[in-house]
Structure 1
Amino acid sequence: MPRTVDGLDELTELAGTDLGYSAWREITQERVNTFADATDDHQWIHLDPERAASGPFGGTIAHGYLTLSLLIPMFNELLDIQGISMSVNYGLNKVRFPSPVLVGSKIRLHGKVDTVEAVKGNGVQMAFTFTIGIDGGDKPACVAEAVYRHYA
């Protein structure tokens, strides 16, 4: 169950809060193939299981940007924001992909609210550190510093 907050004041109180973990989510070959078609990124390390088996990762891997894109649905498992009129993805300060996600692996998101600051237009800007972990993995799949804006 996501944590629910209502309005800008409650969002502001989240500065420094650990939001916990999302549920585990399996990365399937079908999802990787669909992402490849959507983005025109058909590199063999993502789509050719036979060739990838003898490649550097021992199998096909998810696109880094596929892993990053799953931040949104997993983040929705951590935080439910009510009482605002609009939210926008303001950008990313930093993104790294320390470890590949092998097809068949499970990933989950850990979220932490770093800062919350007032912005012009009756809103707040929130900076988060998101870490996407791999079940049984030593290193995360993705670490991202994300920025969102929410308006009353």
Structure 2
Amino acid sequence: MSSQKIDVRAYAQRIGEEIGVSGWIPITQDMIDTFADLTYDHQFIHVDAKRAATEGPFGGTIVHGFLTLSLITRMAREAEPGIEGAGMLINYGFEKVRFLHVVPTGSNVRGRVVLTEAEEKKPGEFTFTHRITVEIEGVDRPALVADWVTRLYIQH
């Protein structure tokens, strides 16, 4: 998260603007293996480099789509400014998620964040929708695009 702080109402006025871009995140096989253990998704295209290279269509292991999606939390926190008085922020869900390109193991990914909707539901309670585009370093097509809905509560 940026050290810069912004008033929540000023932030809500930035609809349609790119809010920021995260730093690059290296994707390692250890990261993928840990995710596979946590989610019980041990499909060979993710965890068996030898088999993925010979039997899979991608020439090696690839990142789970849901691992890539889960990284948007880190990406958004790096890209977005801090909100003055921010208390609790909760994940409210997704309007849309599309996985557009595989992420090969060893890739670097980053998130590009655009504020698409903002609404003050009641005083101090804001719902934001951000379009997060996850880029793969050196690849023209994004890994995924997600419209992520969060709810922010301002401390009084």
- Further displaced range: 40-49 or 76-85: 76-85
Matches of 1:43 and 1:77, distance apart in 2: 31
Superposition map of 1:42-81 within 5 A: 42-54=42-54, 55-79=56-80, 80-81=82-83
Unaligned runs of 5+ in 2: none
Give the C-alpha shift of residue 136 in structure 1. Answer: 0.8
DSSP 3-state at the match of 2:78: coil
Please list every run of 5 or more consecutive structure 1 residues that lacks an aligned counterpart in the other structure. Answer: none
Distance 2:34 2:146 in 1: 23
- Classify the secondary structure of the residue corresponding to 1:37: helix
Q: What root-mean-square deviation, in Å, do the aligned CA atoms of Structure 1 and Structure 2 show?
A: 1.6
Q: Does the CA-based 8 Å contact 1:4-1:82 persist in structure 2?
A: no
What is the TM-score with the length of structure 2 in the denominator? 0.90
Runs of 4+ in 1 over 3 A off after TM superposition: 3-7
Counterparts of 2:18 and 2:3, CA distance in 1 = 11
SS in 2 for 1:111: strand
Aligned length in residues: 152
Indicate conservation of the 8 Å contact 2:8/2:83, yes or no.
no
Q: Secondary structure at the match of 1:85?
A: strand
Tell me which residue corresponds to 1:117.
119
Distance in 1 (CA, whole Å) between partners of 2:124 and 2:78 is 26
Specify the SS of the correspondent of 2:86: coil
In the other structure, the counterpart of 1:33 is 33
TM-score, length basis structure 1: 0.93
